[in-house]
């Protein structure tokens, strides 16, 4: 073919000089050119010269097919977002077909065409596809994308492919990180993304950005289970409420239930008056103090003794409780509840109130390796909280966050608050009452 010998394709003539050779066209053959086919005699017949007067001129065509990456087909897509079609338009030798016109049509779950129709687009130089926008009929959980290549006659045959694309319209996040920290602490931020109304639809293999106080701090990709992880160190000046969020990259819409609040404490400041003076010539200020004010102090001490007995019982009771400023936390809880972010509200109740009470009274923080159930056991065994109060509260927290994070209603929220109230009483001596 074209002057190149292919000795593996051969035959022996019969008594009539006829032969049949089944020649396989090489994959690398250029289908856009004509090709000259000839045969040669390879054995010695005693004849010195053969005139090759005849040859065939042939044109070849190729088969095309859509090579779609099934791995990424499991990746759910955002309605009204942009879809990168995962695959190539290939020749039958598996090489990409460049610069070919592809027609595409979106269909709903009933396989009806959606408006408006897509504009045709060309394949890239390697046969891959471009981004196309996903429509939204506000109903379908799955859309179908029909891809059609009409071919390039007479060189390339056409092909067609139907791709199913799972949709989500909003997301929620189950956070797994601390509720408080100090300036300079390095924390691990973990979370898992789901479709807002479908806990079985994880947002996997998706580019997201992590934000702190609405400024981007990281761009990462969720894994096959929709999980993400990132380490962050609190810089100087970050004391107070730090709002962490997660958003779909390259899409500006604000999603619900995707923020987590971490309260950051500032480092103690040592005042100049607390720094000692080693100058030997400096007089001791306490000498005058003891000479003049000791009699006064003795008198004050006598008066205080009288009050000690009066306040003894009260002091004993107060030693068993802890004070935790709640005004801002209650406001945050109300905001989460009023905006129907009930999962976040319950997570906030556990992490920013319950765990903060433990930290304030016992100086203990939840470790990254500890689960919610571990905290329940520690609360009973180490802190002597009543198991009849702790276990029902923690079990409901687990049930809501892990078993049915997207099915809770307002009554479930208030039921959990009722379970928390006696625990709060053990810490503070007051009942936990919400006036909203």
Quick one: tokens of 388? 């009849």
* Cα 148 from Cα 162, distance rounded (Å): 9
Nearest residue to 342 (alpha-carbon basis) of 251, 237, 265, 256: 256
| Candidate from 8-17, 69-78, 82-91 with smallest mean pLDDT | 69-78
Give the Å distances, CA to CA, from 317 to 167, 321, 322, 384, 429. 57, 7, 11, 16, 9
Decide: residue 241, CB within 10 A, 0-12 exposed, 13-18 middle, 19+ buried.
middle
Decide: residue 48, CB within 10 A, 0-12 exposed, 13-18 middle, 19+ buried.
exposed
* Cα 153 from Cα 101, distance rounded (Å): 13
| Candidate from 33-37, 265-269, 344-348 with smallest mean pLDDT | 265-269
pLDDT at 227: 93
Task: Quick: pLDDT tens for 207-230.
Answer: 899 999 888 999 999 998 999 999
CA angle 221, 224, 227 (to 5 degrees): 60
Answer yes or no: are the C-beta atoms of 174 and 192 closer than 8 Å. Answer: yes
Task: Quick: pLDDT tens for 132-151.
Answer: 889 988 888 899 999 999 88
Task: Quick: pLDDT tens for 245-267.
Answer: 898 887 755 455 578 889 998 76
Task: Quick: pLDDT tens for 185-205.
Answer: 999 999 999 887 787 889 998
* Cα 142 from Cα 107, distance rounded (Å): 9
Polymer length in residues for the chain: 436
Answer yes or no: are the C-beta atoms of 230 and 189 closer than 8 Å. Answer: yes
Q: What is the mean pLDDT of residues 35-52?
A: 73
* Cα 413 from Cα 406, distance rounded (Å): 12
* Cα 303 from Cα 299, distance rounded (Å): 7
Q: Between residues 257 and 88, which one has the greater pLDDT?
A: 88
HSE, side-chain direction, 13 A CA sphere, residue 60: 18
pLDDT at 320: 42
| pLDDT tier at 285, thresholds 50, 70, 90 | low
| pLDDT tier at 81, thresholds 50, 70, 90 | confident
């Amino acid at each position: 073919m074209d002057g190149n010998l292919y000795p593996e394709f051969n035959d022996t003539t019969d008594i009539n000089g006829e032969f049949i050779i089944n020649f396989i066209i090489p994959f690398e053959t250029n289908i856009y050119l004509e090709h000259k086919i000839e045969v040669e005699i390879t054995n010695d017949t005693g004849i010195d010269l053969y005139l090759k007067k005849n040859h065939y001129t042939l044109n070849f065509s190729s088969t095309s097919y859509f090579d779609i990456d099934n791995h990424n087909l499991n990746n759910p897509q955002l309605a009204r977002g942009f879809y990168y079609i995962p695959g190539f338009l290939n020749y039958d030798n598996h090489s990409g077909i460049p610069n070919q016109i592809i027609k595409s049509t979106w269909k709903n779950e009933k396989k009806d065409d959606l408006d408006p129709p897509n504009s045709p687009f060309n394949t890239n130089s390697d046969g891959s596809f471009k981004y196309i926008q996903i429509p939204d009929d506000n109903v379908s959980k799955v859309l179908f994308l029909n891809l059609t290549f009409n071919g390039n006659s007479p060189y390339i045959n056409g092909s067609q492919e139907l791709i199913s694309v799972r949709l989500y319209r909003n997301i929620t996040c189950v956070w797994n990180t601390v509720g408080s920290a100090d300036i300079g602490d390095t924390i691990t931020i973990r979370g898992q993304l789901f479709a807002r109304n479908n806990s079985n639809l994880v947002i996997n293999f998706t580019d997201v950005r992590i934000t702190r106080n609405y400024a981007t701090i990281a761009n990462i990709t969720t894994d096959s289970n929709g999980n993400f992880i990132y380490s962050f160190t609190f810089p100087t000046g970050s004391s107070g409420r730090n709002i962490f969020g997660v958003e779909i990259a390259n899409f500006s819409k604000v999603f619900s239930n995707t923020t987590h609040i971490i309260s950051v404490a500032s480092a103690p400041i040592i005042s100049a008056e607390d720094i000692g003076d080693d100058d030997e010539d400096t007089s001791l200020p306490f000498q005058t103090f003891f000479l003049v004010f000791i009699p006064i102090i003795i008198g004050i001490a006598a008066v205080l003794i009288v009050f000690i007995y009066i306040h003894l019982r009260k002091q004993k009771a107060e030693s068993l409780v802890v004070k935790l400023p709640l005004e801002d936390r209650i406001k945050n809880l109300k905001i989460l509840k009023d905006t129907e972010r009930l999962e976040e509200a319950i997570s906030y109740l556990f992490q920013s109130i319950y765990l903060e009470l433990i930290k304030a009274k016992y100086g203990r923080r939840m470790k990254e390796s500890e689960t919610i159930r571990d905290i329940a056991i520690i609360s009973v065994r180490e802190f002597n909280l009543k198991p009849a109060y702790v276990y029902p509260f923690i079990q409901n927290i687990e049930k809501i966050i892990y078993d049915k994070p997207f099915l809770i209603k307002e009554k479930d929220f208030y039921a959990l608050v009722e379970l928390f109230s006696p625990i709060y009483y053990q810490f503070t001596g007051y009942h936990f009452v919400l006036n909203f």
